[in-house]
């Protein structure tokens, strides 16, 4: 069998939610182009409201796209919706398991929905992999939150899909469980499963993913191997209080500046390219006198904004 180069490929993907009585029309995805290489652990990173869940829901067949094309494992979701859906397992953000079934029953029912023949079901194996063997016959309502979440991962894998999607997998999950979850995910990846995870934690994406796409306001603003992306995120700011408050940000050779409400200004620089020393030299060269300075690391929101502006050519 020919394996596809990309586990998932989206082209010019647009999703517009229609207006309701209480909400205006919302363009949640504004032309997403994304190619997720087969075999990767791919991070879809973005702030709340960026469009991550909308993208995942379209892949999962839970939400209809407005326009554009999407293929999963080389199968177009319009032309071969069933085949496309059979190629992914989705671990939802919310725990969706009937409290009155046991974990074993939950997996059997899910396998039945994918028409997995009895002989090919892997209920015991999946429960063991998720550390739930001794809970196989407990009611789901008796499981801890962490156990339920592991059950969701097992449920997403009942049909042995080549692509596993985890939507904000560690929100509200303790450190120990997070480690266990990642170990299993890494094991699956080692066996060839492509992993896509959404998160709004840079650290999580950084630790696990070999490639990261950043989406903001429905657009892909960066999509690069993790080390390349991190190197682009080395922006720092020097906050300067001049002797006299300023009415406009000064022009400094080689640096971006920004006026602060206090009448001071911020100078952005890249740690890989310049030093605070050079920033100070540029300020002095502009004939400005400094009363006080401090430095600031950008938070993720700053990074999203700067990458978004870069993408928009502002």
First to last CA, the chain: 46
To ligand ADP, the closest distance from the beta carbon of 22 in angstroms equals 10
Q: Which is nearer to ligand ADP, 48 or 273 (CB)?
A: 48
Return the number of other C-beta atoms located less than 10 Å from residue 224's C-beta: 14
Residue 91: closest CA among 150, 13, 143: 150
To ligand ADP, the closest distance from the beta carbon of 221 in angstroms equals 13
Q: Which residues pair with 305 in a beta bridge?
A: none
Q: Which is nearer to ligand ADP, 63 or 290 (CB)?
A: 63
Site residues for ligand ADP per CB under 6 A:
17, 23, 26, 28, 46, 48-54
Q: Which residues pair with 295 in a beta bridge?
A: 238
Q: Which is nearer to ligand ADP, 9 or 167 (CB)?
A: 167
Q: Which is nearer to ligand ADP, 54 or 226 (CB)?
A: 54
To ligand ADP, the closest distance from the beta carbon of 70 in angstroms equals 15
Q: Which is nearer to ligand ADP, 4 or 51 (CB)?
A: 51
To ligand ADP, the closest distance from the beta carbon of 77 in angstroms equals 17
To ligand ADP, the closest distance from the beta carbon of 54 in angstroms equals 3
Q: Which is nearer to ligand ADP, 219 or 306 (CB)?
A: 219
To ligand ADP, the closest distance from the beta carbon of 59 in angstroms equals 12
Q: Which is nearer to ligand ADP, 34 or 158 (CB)?
A: 34
To ligand ADP, the closest distance from the beta carbon of 2 in angstroms equals 33
């Amino acid at each position: 069998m020919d394996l596809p180069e990309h586990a998932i490929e989206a082209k010019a993907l647009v999703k517009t939610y229609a207006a309701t009585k209480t909400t205006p029309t919302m363009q949640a995805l504004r032309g997403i182009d994304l190619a997720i290489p087969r075999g990767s652990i791919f991070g879809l990173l973005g702030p709340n409201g960026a469009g991550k869940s909308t993208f995942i829901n379209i892949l999962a067949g839970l939400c209809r796209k407005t326009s554009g094309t999407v293929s999963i494992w080389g199968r177009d979701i319009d032309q071969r919706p069933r085949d496309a859906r059979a190629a992914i397992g989705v671990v939802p953000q919310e725990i969706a398991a009937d409290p009155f079934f046991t974990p074993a029953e939950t997996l059997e029912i899910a396998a039945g929905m994918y028409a997995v023949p009895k002989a090919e079901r892997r209920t015991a194996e999946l429960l063991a992999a998720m550390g739930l063997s001794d809970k196989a016959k407990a009611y789901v309502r008796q499981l801890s939150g962490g156990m339920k979440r592991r059950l969701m991962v097992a449920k997403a894998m009942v049909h042995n899909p080549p692509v596993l999607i985890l939507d904000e997998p560690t929100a509200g999950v303790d450190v120990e469980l997070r480690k266990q979850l990642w170990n299993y995910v890494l094991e699956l990846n080692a066996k060839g499963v492509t992993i896509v995870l959404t998160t709004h934690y840079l650290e999580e994406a950084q630790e696990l993913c070999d490639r990261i796409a950043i989406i903001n306001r429905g657009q892909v603003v960066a999509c690069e191997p993790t080390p390349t992306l991190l190197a682009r995120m080395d922006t720092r700011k020097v906050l300067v209080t001049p002797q006299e408050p300023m009415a406009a940000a000064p022009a400094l050779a080689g640096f971006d500046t920004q006026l602060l409400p206090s009448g001071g200004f911020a100078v952005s620089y890249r740690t890989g390219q310049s030093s605070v020393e050079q920033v100070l030299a540029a300020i002095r060269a502009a004939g400005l006198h400094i009363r006080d300075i401090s430095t600031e690391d950008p938070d993720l929101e700053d990074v999203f904004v700067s990458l978004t502006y870069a993408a928009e050519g502002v």
